Structure 1
Amino acid sequence: MSFRTRAVIGAMLVSTAMPAMVDARATKRAPATKAATGTNAEARAAKLVKAMTQAEKLQLVFSFFPPHATGKPGSPTDMIPSAGHTPPIPRLGIPTQRESDASLGVANQVEQRKGDVATALPAGLATAATFDPAFAYQGGAMIGSEARAKRFNILLSGGVNLTRDPWNGRNFEYLGEDPLLAGTMAGEAIRGVQSNHIVSTVKHFALNSQETGRMLLDARITPSALRESDLLAFQIAIERGRPGSVMCAYNKVNGDWACENAVLLTDILRKDWDYKGWVMSDWGGVHSTTKAAIAGLDQQSGKELDKQPYFAAPLAAAVADGSVPQARLDEMVTRILTGMIENGLLDHPMPETAQPIDYATHANVAQAAAEAGIVLLKNEKELLPLAKTAKRIVLIGGHADVGVLSGGGSSQVRSVGGAPVEIPLTSGAAASFARVTYHASSPLAAIRKLAPGAEISFVDGNDPVAAAAAAKSADLAIVFATQWQTEAQDAETLALPDNQDALITSVAAANAKTVVVLETGGPVLMPWIDRVDGVVQAWYPGQRGGEAIANILFGAVNPSGRLPITFPRSADQAPRPEPVGLSTLKTAADRVAAANSDGGKGAAPVSFPVEYQEGSDVGYRWYAAKKLTPLFPFGHGLSYTSFGYANLKVTGGQTLTISFDVTNKGARAGADVPQVYVARADGAPRLAAFQRVTLKPGETRHITLAAEPRILANWDDAGHQWHIAGGSYRVTLAQDASGTGGTTAQGTLTERRFGK
């Protein structure tokens, strides 16, 4: 959801320890069936609904937004300042719904709960870059455990919107551009959250792919292309994670608002996917009563941010006059209760008081995820890892003396250790609910700890000439370059802000041994790339980011992250070179109104279309289809060792089974991510399988992977099913989407139609 208001003072809350670490193999999950737990949950929910009064039913279908509702007539008195609150029905054992944003940790964006901290994971892109579902599961389990003891039982997490544009302000929260990778990782994060007997959402359903004009835009795409891309990511996430709730998006999809879009909410989600939980709106995303209810919306969230409380008195009146059938209201309540019961909210009540946290253990989880997700983009002359015998090292820029950058918006975590840098915004769509915030994890301190015998200094980088002078007198220079991204507004350019390109160029000219560490929310342009020997993509690395970066630079940890998103060589390589709507939204006021939930209350500009011309060829598929060579391809990532593949064998039939040997050919232990891409002769490659594997020096592992059938198929809209065309397919086993280090074979598939 989105938090757009001023801070509200609340009580300090603390939390519990997380479950034990899990093995990656334990995270595999078959597509959901109508399991006994789900059937029992539905039956229990239906029985409860029969026992409810009409007033109690209506009570469950909307939630308060505490920062706006507290103290107002009729509002609950036990609200914790957070995202949402739905009062309990004690006589039936139905608990309070307490909701928190939680994409990267239990959020407390502008310190609405004074003194309340939580563990901050690295950005979603960093978790995706691990290519390991175990990290996603463990992060979700950690967040869920903290939330539960803080007495939150519904988390607004599970973001799985695909990256269609490199400048999207929320890319950092999400899980990249590939439906198989994003859906798998989101599903495991959801499953981890819900292991704590609380609900996770999956969001934002669907095509919330840019922040510019997000309250107005109409995302347009063909039904088949949507099924093969964004919806496939959601489908995989729902199958693996079985989230208790789905959150619909702000934007329109093919002409209808996502939160009153019958095709999305009823035809696909309910009928085709047999989803049993409930659909909640995004905060400020409701536009009607009757249309939304009939289309499939079950709960209005944070009703204070909509034009009116559509699911309060207006819904009661609509049910009374028959425009919304009583059976539909009962169904709405049944779905809410089903999601709650299936995830244990009724059988495992929240603690009455806040519980303690093992923050040290949780910090280790955050650091491990950051280390596994940091991507070594370039390493000429084997400059990295840095020798611990280096005598003089200078760190330049990025507030590397005190901390690491985090992304802004509803995912912002007030992390353990505080915020050494926090800069309020004075303008822009995010100004009311976001601050430029750093976590207190100093790369400078961490590097000094790893190299105690070296002279390590810091220069702020504001003056390129002074920075170059400092670099010239050092044995090597490390430039920390930052790009802050936030919900509600997109980057208007992919260039690094604040003259940082000139800074890097000056430092590289002064010292041939220059490394650039990027703390960014996604891809940036690198006009200096040929002038530096080392580039490390650290994303927003979370509350232990400084330690993680230092361990990668010095080789205490062998880098193993792989890009979950393509880095373009120039902005015009992407399907759209800038956010659609920048020209339509002519003034700053227009952009604020069109990005925030109050956009419809004033004279906001009219809706505008965003045509997704790339269809299902998202990200690396677009580059392959257009024969474009990016700066760094999807899946790219270097290591301090090397890996080789041999004995590739492909078996066809109903799907493709791929077996091969992977060998660590170097002198260091490390993790590789073999990636299997499949394509017809005239089509773009699609990631059909992957697996992260850790190997000792010289070790060989035999791997067998099965291709996801829906990746091999196309959606037949007329036949309303998946269709695999029979014939020969090119199978490439490689280290990235461009085929680096790869080997190719052919596989033959039998034509078949299946599923929905």
Structure 2
Amino acid sequence: MKLLGLLMASTLLTAPAGLAAAAGTDSGVVAAATSQADRPWMNTALSPDERARLAVEAMTLDEQISLMRTQIGFGLLSLGIPLPDSVPETMRKHTPEGALGSAGFIPAVPRLGLPAIQMTDASLGVGNLGGFLRRGDEATALPSSLALAGSFNTDLARQAGRVVGAEAHAKGFNVQLAGGVNLTREPRNGRNFEYAGEDPLLAGLIIGETIAGIQDQHVVSTSKHYALNSQETGRFVYDARIDEGALRESDLLAFEIAHDRGQPGAVMCAYNRINGVYGCESPFLLNQVLKSEWKYPGWVMSDWGAVHSLTPALDAGLDQESPQDDPHFSTLKAEVEAGRVPASRVAESARRILRSLFAVGAVDSPAAPGGAIDKDAHAAVAEQIALQGMVLLKNEGGVLPLAATAKKIVVIGGFADRGVIAGGGGSSQVMPYGGSFRDTRGREGVAALLTPVYGLDSPLKALQARRPDADIQFDDGSDPARAAALARTADVAIVFATRPEEEGLDAENLLFDHGQDDLIAAVAAANPRTVAVLETGNPTAMPWLSRTAAVLQAWYPGQRGGQAIARLLTGDASPSGRLPMTFPASVQQLPRPEIPGFDPSMRTPLGLGKPVEPFNLDINEGSDVGYRWFERTDAKPMFAFGYGLTYTTFDYRRPSFRGGDGLTAEVTLTNTGSRPGVEVAQLYAAPPGRTHRLVGWARVELQPGESRRVTLSADPRLLASWDAEAKGWRRAGGRFDAYIGRSAEQVEGRAQVRIGATADVPRALVGGR
């Protein structure tokens, strides 16, 4: 959120002892109409489109325009922050009347019975950046979206969305700035923790279900950031250069699938340029693809500060300018009165906005502060996401689960005595229930205030509670030699390593900071039964991998992350997550070994500091994102997309494939181990001359000795490619290479399957809810 960052930068914030609560507790919710004859748009028997049309016809031009111009939902004076002379007068204000203290706000229209629009961040819960927008306001901190994607569980994604939507509604918010669909093209990207990995089918389905879950609770969800917002470095200025077909087959396909599943009420266009045109001024992205081809009925809002014009943006399809210090839409009324902007264009945007509010029930079931929140039930969902999304990457010698004979266990580093990372930094930051703390090493002022927070769910304490028979000691890891000496006396050593990622900041490399790689190496050298637990929002390099016995990728495990980690380590639950992104062996394997535009001296919170000069970001991998790039270049990753171990073993028998007008495969899965477990059977296919892509999967839970015949069906959209000459989708006829695998590189059954050619390829149909 650029504006918030600019405000913080101008005030040179330090964390004051007490921040005043945001002024204004009126949510803007208004009484229902006394008569449907007076307000026919309140008739719930009508369609959302008809209700929006009727309401807009009753609105004045000023009221219509008010929907197109978001205000920032908090004021600096209300936050009790000292304001230096550099802060503009327009920002020296209290929280707008009726606003709740959040990212965006539009006042209610009481005479029409329309509630205020209260917008809040973001994907991992109800955001409260820095904890100062709404003092003392906490929420359920869900694990990172990468953990959710790692579960390969769309039902769980729906539950996650419902948690976010229910809490937003109970706190008075009716628009959630969630739904991060951007694919992982850059594994050092500071916001990957908000997204769902590198594959368009997986990301589209997981995020689509979270969007649907949010909107189940009468809260509009966005999808974002449309499109190719793949790195934080230079996010305001870079120009992503990509072939149209490659764009349609990758990032746009992910959005298309997410829209089909979730039908988001709003789409947030990105900061960056795409093929020379800003995302919020792109007729191709907004009018052609989104509104015309996908028949999208909702509205397009800008990212905060992403608008560069009035007429070009309106002509391209932008409906709403989010808060920024240079408001281009401030002259809209004058342009309409002068005849330079048609009044019908304003009415269209107002209609789209109201249509989405009616569609999700935000008008009929208005949000209001003070609603009931079932914290325990929501925490249980967060715990399930952590349990199902963590990925066991290595487990030699059966060191995990911890054996009953392991009587002395040493836990080292990563603040494991206090808690776990609740989420990355930036606009998505959630202040978790139960309190939090920050790791501010090397940071002060604004940077310290915006440091990602840790929730108070200690893995050490959870482990001690589950293993009261063991002597479990802790060392903070600040002295690797001391930690190694302690580990040498233990049956098992468990080292926690953390790497917080942040909006606006890409990582310089794939290493851990604060000497944590050296710590793991020293402990592993002292004790061959060393387990590494990694709390990260991206892949890491793991130079110590060969020396450790086990590695558990915990992502950012959220509200009950400490308990979830302890359950997996002790065997109370079995790991079932699979990697939603490839872990490279080195950055030299990536399409861009160096991040374009990156300057380590300019890494500042939310991407503030000296402006970066515009530059081109050449997407030379095209649609071959992640594992497809590794296949194309014949590179061996450290861990492949879809990879993950369990505490049991599975056998794949009698694979079979069927082509024709589509692709299906069958395989018999058998749990050949002694413990219950989950297998994620994955179906990949390659059109003639192309790389393989994930086209379907099945998440199967089996008891020891249990077998099940599983059918995998390919999503027809993934069998098609963009035909540049015909300007449309086409499924090439011929032999497709298909395989069933445990991951993108672990093949368990393969065949050449003949599939017919067609230009009649089913696409995602975005319609009314």
Deviations 1:269-297 (A, max 9, x none): 00110000000111111111111111111
The corresponding residue for 2:310 is 289
Q: In the TM superposition, what is the alpha-carbon distance from 1:39 to its structure 2 partner?
A: 8.7
In structure 2, distance between residues paired with 1:309 and 1:69: 18
Deviations 1:702-755 (A, max 9, x none): 222221112111111332221110011111101000024x11122211100135
The corresponding residue for 2:403 is 387
Q: 1:517 to 1:73 in 2, by over 3 A?
A: closer
Contact 2:597–2:612, Cα closer than 8 Å, also in 1: no
**Letter of the 1:682 counterpart:** G
The corresponding residue for 1:311 is 329
Q: In the TM superposition, what is the alpha-carbon distance from 1:264 to its structure 2 partner?
A: 0.5
Q: 1:250 to 1:424 in 2, by over 3 A?
A: farther
Q: In the TM superposition, what is the alpha-carbon distance from 1:660 to its structure 2 partner?
A: 2.1
The one of 299, 316, 322 equivalent to 2:320 is 299
In structure 2, distance between residues paired with 1:400 and 1:167: 24
Instruction: Kindly indicate whether residue 732 of structure 2 is the aligned counterpart of residue 715 of structure 1.
Output: no
Q: 1:344 to 1:69 in 2, by over 3 A?
A: farther
* Match runs of 1:388-407 below 5 Å: 388-405=404-421, 406-407=423-424
**Letter of the 1:82 counterpart:** S
Q: In the TM superposition, what is the alpha-carbon distance from 1:13 to its structure 2 partner?
A: 12
The one of 220, 223, 243 equivalent to 1:199 is 220
Q: 1:514 to 1:424 in 2, by over 3 A?
A: closer
Instruction: Kindly indicate whether residue 345 of structure 2 is the aligned counterpart of residue 325 of structure 1.
Output: no
Contact 1:389–1:453, Cα closer than 8 Å, also in 2: no
The corresponding residue for 1:553 is 569
Q: In the TM superposition, what is the alpha-carbon distance from 1:524 to its structure 2 partner?
A: 0.4
**Letter of the 2:592 counterpart:** R
In structure 1, distance between residues paired with 2:143 and 2:113: 37
Q: In the TM superposition, what is the alpha-carbon distance from 1:683 to its structure 2 partner?
A: 2.5
In structure 2, distance between residues paired with 1:643 and 1:338: 49
Contact 1:712–1:724, Cα closer than 8 Å, also in 2: yes
The corresponding residue for 2:33 is none
The corresponding residue for 1:27 is none
Contact 1:648–1:745, Cα closer than 8 Å, also in 2: no
The one of 694, 706, 721 equivalent to 1:687 is 694
Q: In the TM superposition, what is the alpha-carbon distance from 1:131 to its structure 2 partner?
A: 0.4
Q: In the TM superposition, what is the alpha-carbon distance from 1:592 to its structure 2 partner?
A: 5.0
Equivalent residue of 2:393, what SS? strand
Equivalent residue of 1:400, what SS? coil
In structure 1, distance between residues paired with 2:469 and 2:124: 36
In structure 1, distance between residues paired with 2:236 and 2:441: 24
Please give the root-mean-square deviation of Cα atoms over the aligned residues, in Å.
2.2
Q: In the TM superposition, what is the alpha-carbon distance from 1:612 to its structure 2 partner?
A: 0.5
The one of 83, 89, 110 equivalent to 2:103 is 83
The corresponding residue for 1:32 is none
Instruction: Kindly indicate whether residue 269 of structure 2 is the aligned counterpart of residue 248 of structure 1.
Output: yes
Q: Which runs of 5+ in 2 are unaligned?
A: 9-14, 26-43, 79-91, 764-769
Q: In the TM superposition, what is the alpha-carbon distance from 1:311 to its structure 2 partner?
A: 1.6
**Letter of the 1:532 counterpart:** T
The one of 727, 731, 734 equivalent to 2:738 is 731
In structure 1, distance between residues paired with 2:47 and 2:165: 24
Q: In the TM superposition, what is the alpha-carbon distance from 1:637 to its structure 2 partner?
A: 0.1
Deviations 1:313-352 (A, max 9, x none): x11122222332211111111111111111111111223x
Contact 2:24–2:100, Cα closer than 8 Å, also in 1: no
The corresponding residue for 1:20 is none
In structure 1, distance between residues paired with 2:274 and 2:631: 26
Contact 1:518–1:538, Cα closer than 8 Å, also in 2: yes
Instruction: Kindly indicate whether residue 120 of structure 2 is the aligned counterpart of residue 100 of structure 1.
Output: yes
Equivalent residue pairs, number: 719
Contact 1:425–1:431, Cα closer than 8 Å, also in 2: no
The one of 160, 171, 184 equivalent to 1:150 is 171
Deviations 1:342-388 (A, max 9, x none): 1111111223x412222111111101110000100000111111013
Contact 1:265–1:297, Cα closer than 8 Å, also in 2: yes
Deviations 1:515-535 (A, max 9, x none): 100111110001111111101
In structure 2, distance between residues paired with 1:218 and 1:311: 24
Which runs of at least 4 in structure 1 moved beyond 4 Å after TM superposition? 5-8, 11-14, 68-75, 591-594
The corresponding residue for 2:82 is none
* Match runs of 1:71-470 below 5 Å: 76-111=96-131, 112-302=133-323, 305-306=324-325, 308-312=326-330, 314-351=331-368, 353-405=369-421, 406-423=423-440, 426=443, 431=447, 434-470=450-486
The corresponding residue for 1:19 is none
In structure 2, distance between residues paired with 1:51 and 1:365: 43
Equivalent residue of 1:181, what SS? helix
In structure 2, distance between residues paired with 1:38 and 1:255: 45
Contact 1:375–1:538, Cα closer than 8 Å, also in 2: yes
Contact 1:87–1:95, Cα closer than 8 Å, also in 2: yes
The corresponding residue for 1:640 is 647
Contact 2:24–2:95, Cα closer than 8 Å, also in 1: no
The one of 484, 487, 503 equivalent to 2:519 is 503
Instruction: Kindly indicate whether residue 607 of structure 2 is the aligned counterpart of residue 595 of structure 1.
Output: yes
Q: In the TM superposition, what is the alpha-carbon distance from 1:606 to its structure 2 partner?
A: 3.1
The corresponding residue for 1:29 is none
The corresponding residue for 1:531 is 547
Contact 2:149–2:206, Cα closer than 8 Å, also in 1: yes
The corresponding residue for 1:24 is none
Deviations 1:391-449 (A, max 9, x none): 11001110000001231111111001111345387479x83862132111101001101
**Letter of the 1:53 counterpart:** T
Deviations 1:233-287 (A, max 9, x none): 0000001000000001111111111111111011100011000000011111111
The one of 502, 506, 513 equivalent to 1:486 is 502
The one of 607, 615, 618 equivalent to 1:608 is 615
The corresponding residue for 2:32 is none
* Match runs of 1:30-69 below 5 Å: 40-68=47-75
Q: In the TM superposition, what is the alpha-carbon distance from 1:658 to its structure 2 partner?
A: 1.7
The one of 738, 753, 756 equivalent to 1:750 is 756
Q: 1:617 to 1:679 in 2, by over 3 A?
A: same
Contact 1:397–1:460, Cα closer than 8 Å, also in 2: yes
**Letter of the 1:732 counterpart:** Y
**Letter of the 1:573 counterpart:** Q
In structure 1, distance between residues paired with 2:686 and 2:162: 36
In structure 1, distance between residues paired with 2:674 and 2:200: 35
Q: In the TM superposition, what is the alpha-carbon distance from 1:109 to its structure 2 partner?
A: 1.6
**Letter of the 1:324 counterpart:** V
Contact 2:684–2:740, Cα closer than 8 Å, also in 1: yes
Deviations 1:571-604 (A, max 9, x none): 1111112321025xx853xx659935xx8xxx83
In structure 1, distance between residues paired with 2:430 and 2:631: 37
**Letter of the 1:319 counterpart:** V
In structure 2, distance between residues paired with 1:415 and 1:552: 22
The corresponding residue for 1:624 is 631
In structure 2, distance between residues paired with 1:681 and 1:655: 14
Q: In the TM superposition, what is the alpha-carbon distance from 1:76 to its structure 2 partner?
A: 3.4
Identity %: 49
**Letter of the 2:329 counterpart:** F
In structure 1, distance between residues paired with 2:219 and 2:439: 31
Contact 2:736–2:755, Cα closer than 8 Å, also in 1: yes
Q: In the TM superposition, what is the alpha-carbon distance from 1:659 to its structure 2 partner?
A: 2.1
Contact 2:687–2:732, Cα closer than 8 Å, also in 1: no
Deviations 1:177-216 (A, max 9, x none): 0000000000000000000011000000000100011111
Q: In the TM superposition, what is the alpha-carbon distance from 1:539 to its structure 2 partner?
A: 0.5
In structure 2, distance between residues paired with 1:491 and 1:565: 16
Q: 1:336 to 1:419 in 2, by over 3 A?
A: same
**Letter of the 1:153 counterpart:** N
Q: 1:687 to 1:380 in 2, by over 3 A?
A: same
